[in-house]
Amino acid sequence: MGIRILGIGSYVPEKVLTNFDLEKMVDTSDEWIKTRTGIEQRRIAAAEQATSDLACGAAAKALEAAGIKAEELDAIIVASITVDQIFPSTACILQKKLGAKNAFCFDLEAACSGLLYALEVANSLLTANKKYKKILVIGAEKLSSIVDWEDRSTCVLFGDGAGALVLGKCRNTEENCIVASNLGSDGHYTDILQIPAGGSRLPASAETIANRQHYLAMAGSEVFKCAVTAMVHSCKKVLKEAGIAAEEVRWLVPHQANYRILRAVAGRLGIPETGVYMNVSRYGNTSAASIGLCLDEIARGGLAKPGDYLLLTAFGGGLTWASILLKW
């Protein structure tokens, strides 16, 4: 027994914000952004769109690809750091939009590692309990709503989008898509990537607003170093657990943070650049959405064939990290 991917979908908002647009907003340049990050443009949601709307676009396509109705879902897990509101959960808001009346729904917060954490949870639920048959997992973000558009060191990096997977059971282990996984966290680094205010520690006040503490704050170069070390370590553990050599991996699908990070991770794993899936130039860093966006492009573009190994790896605030070896 195991699980398999029944359908994948993604959604990005229409509005494109290019590096040249950003040059008019902050003291930056297309040249700096491209050489330091690989990003050329990102998508920005409309003012009236919330994260659940982006998630709904991706979920509808994933359900269509799976050929199932929303009522067939047993659970919905939304991974996001930009939930519609603190509560109720964005998963419940999405449930109503989809009409998934038989699902139990919750949000999961593991920053950029969120989709992989959600996959691990869904895998455990499906394999441990026979009453759960179909689960929708989604990584969705409206990062434009938490980015400080006056801070050039962060605002050039992020974008909005959503990626969704419908997961179901399979009878024989041959079809099982999750071969191995490794998840980890290190709470010693909570302050290098965070939104300082707006929670119980520092509730919203005139002072927190004046101090711009409701925006994402990041110590970029520290995060960079931790990201490479953690993802490489985690990927190696997964490959070892699966008994798979790096050369056998068809695609390394890393969280799309910065092409320099992706290249460094691939280099240390001995995976050639042609084996690294990258769309960071088009979408920037979309946090929990990024791996879902990649997987949807791989699926719709026919870029992987049955039996191919895809090594998914992510890293984010918390700190959190996760790697999953998928058999396509």
**Contacts (CB under 6 A) with ligand UT7, residues 202-221:** 220-221
Q: Which residue from 18, 153, 190, 205 is in contact with ligand UT7, where contact means CB under 6 A?
A: 153
Q: Is 112 a catalytic residue?
A: yes
Q: Closest distance between ligand UT7 and the C-beta of residue 220, in Å?
A: 3
CB 296 within 8 A of CB 168: no
Please give the helix or strand (H or E) that residue 261 lies within, else none: helix 259-269
Choices 140-148, 256-264, 270-278, 302-310; region in contact with ligand UT7 by CB under 6 A: 256-264
Q: Closest distance between ligand UT7 and the C-beta of residue 1, in Å?
A: 34
Q: Is 4 in the site for ligand UT7 (CB under 6 A)?
A: no
Q: Is 24 in the site for ligand UT7 (CB under 6 A)?
A: no
Q: Is 285 a catalytic residue?
A: yes
Q: Which residue from 37, 89, 90, 234 is in contact with ligand UT7, where contact means CB under 6 A?
A: 37
Q: Closest distance between ligand UT7 and the C-beta of residue 258, in Å?
A: 4
* DSSP assignment of 189-241: GGGGEE--SSSSSS---HHHHHTTTTS-EE-HHHHHHHHHHHHHHHHHHHHHH
Q: Closest distance between ligand UT7 and the C-beta of residue 188, in Å?
A: 16
Let me know if 93 is exposed, middle or buried by CB neighbors in 10 A (0-12, 13-18, 19+). Answer: buried
* DSSP assignment of 59-97: HHHHHHHHT--GGG-SEEEEE-SS-SSSSS-HHHHHHHH
CB 312 within 8 A of CB 324: yes
**Which residue, 37 or 182, has its beta carbon nearer to ligand UT7?**
37
Let me know if 309 is exposed, middle or buried by CB neighbors in 10 A (0-12, 13-18, 19+). Answer: buried
User: Which residues are annotated as catalytic?
Assistant: 112, 255, 285
Please give the residue ranges that form the binding site for ligand UT7 (CB under 6 A): 28, 32-33, 36-37, 112, 152-153, 156, 193, 220-221, 223-224, 227, 257-258, 261, 285, 315-316
